[in-house]
Amino acid sequence: MRGAVLYGPRDIRFEERATPTIRESTDAVIRISATCVCGSDLWPYRGVNPITQPTPMGHEYCGVVEEVGRDVTRVRPGQFVIGSFFASDNTCPNCHAGYQSSCQHKQFVGDAQAPLLRVPLADGTLVPTREVPSEDMIPSLLTLSDVMGTGWFAADAAGVKPGATVVVVGDGAVGLLGVLSASQMGAERIIAMSRHESRQKLAREFGATEIVAERGEKAVARIRDLTNGIGADSVLECVGTPESMAQAVGSARAGGSVGYVGVPHSVTLDGEKLFYKHVHLHGGPAPVRRFLPELIDLVWNGKMNPGRVFDLVLPLDQVAEGYRAMDERRAVKALLRP
């Protein structure tokens, strides 16, 4: 089979790779229905995270089970399944606490931009849908594998409640789906920070009630203006830079919460500032597995359509164009079809 391999900065190739097989008795092999390019794939693509050897890419996936190992009992060939970028046993204490992305036996699933994928710990990792979905539902189901699950975790970690005032920092796919998540959770005001017209429009479609185009201290001042000097109850930080984190903490009210899911790059926090601000911070790699059953139901029952975040659909062999388009911000998120 052929799949995506990153060789170095902006050098992604679609080339021959070993076909995945069952290696452990707890594995499954799935045939990918759709995969996509993640904002976090752009860190190594841009050379921010160094690439030391050719690296298979892709960690967002859904598809049909082809084969399972002899100890797999909860999923079977022919089922349509969705899993997270971290395989987890779903039985250890960390999984039971709802933090499957800190599973004691977690394994990164990092080669999903390919037609076939081996998924370890299949029973704990994969969640089947009630039947094989129609084609039009697949983009939305695919988002649950990471980007929507991550936006949902940002809102969950920020303690979004009905009636809340929410600020979302970041207008990438995660931020936009953070807006959708806050809306689903009943937030009354959702202020999306974005400078790009097309993204502002999508943010509004997903439930944003106001847009703030300023950045940095000006953005924080604008949030103060909009909230009678108080700040937001919940802030979703979906970027991972020092500027975005400062903007998020600055936008929260006293006693407010910041849910941060942007992978931090050079982010440091000022302990004294946090101390006097009474701000809650909670974040990390999203425990997507915790949310999958609920999010699958919401999509299946037509309550939300997160697949609208894909504004570029390409055949998998054009994966390099998907990366380029996202790198140049010509696309919010690229869906790839094997």
User: Residue 168 CA to chain centroid, in angstroms?
Assistant: 14
Nearest C-alpha neighbor of 80 from the set 123, 135, 120, 131? 131
Decide: is 34 part of the binding site for Zn ion (CB under 5 A). Answer: no
Residue 103 vs 219, nearer CB to Zn ion: 103
The stretch near Zn ion (CB under 5 A) out of 64-72, 92-100, 128-136, 325-333 is 92-100
CB atoms within 10 A of CB 203: 26
CB 8 within 8 A of CB 26: no
CB 148 within 8 A of CB 174: no
Which stretch, 39-47, 98-106, 248-256, 300-308, contacts Zn ion (CB under 5 A)? 98-106
Query: Which of 62, 82, 95, 236 touches Zn ion (CB under 5 A)?
Result: 95
Is residue 274 within the footprint of Zn ion (CB under 5 A)? Answer: no
Q: From the CB of 92, what's the least distance to Zn ion, in Å?
A: 3
121 or 334: CB nearest Zn ion: 121
Is 106:265 a contact under the CB 8 Å cutoff? no
- SS3 state of residue 182: helix
238 contacts Zn ion (rule: CB under 5 A)? no
Cβ of residue 59: shortest distance to Zn ion, in angstroms?
Answer: 18
End-to-end CA distance of the chain: 11
CB-nearer residue toward Zn ion: 185 or 288: 288
What's the CA gap between 200 and 95, in Å, rounded? 36
With contacts defined by CB under 5 A, name the span among 3-11, 82-90, 137-145, 270-278 that binds Zn ion: 82-90
Taking CB under 5 A as the rule, does residue 28 contact Zn ion? no
Which distant-in-sequence residues (6+ apart) come within 8 Å of 265 by Cβ? 43, 48, 240, 241
- Which C-beta is closer to Zn ion: that of 55 or that of 91? 91
Selected binder of Zn ion within 41, 89, 111, 237 (CB under 5 A): 89
Instruction: Compose the 37-76 pattern: x for residues touching Zn ion by CB under 5 A, - for all others.
Output: ----------------------------------------
Residues near 218 by Cβ (< 8 Å), separated by ≥ 6?
A: none
The smaller minimum CB distance to Zn ion, of residues 103 and 202, is found at: 103
By beta-carbon proximity to Zn ion, the closer residue of 95 and 193 is: 95
Residue 55 or 107: the one with the smaller Cβ distance to Zn ion is 107
The residue to which tokens 């979703």 are assigned: 236
Give 89 or 233: the residue with its C-beta nearer to Zn ion.
Answer: 89
Closest separation in Å from C-beta 209 to Zn ion: 38
3-state secondary structure of 38: coil
Maximal CA-CA distance, the chain: 61
- Residue of 69, 143, 119, 75 whose CA lies nearest to 308: 143
Q: Which of 42, 64, 92, 137 binds Zn ion (CB under 5 A)?
A: 92
Residue 188 is encoded by which pair of tokens?
A: 């009354």
Task: Please give the residue ranges that form the binding site for Zn ion (CB under 5 A).
Answer: 88-89, 92, 95, 103
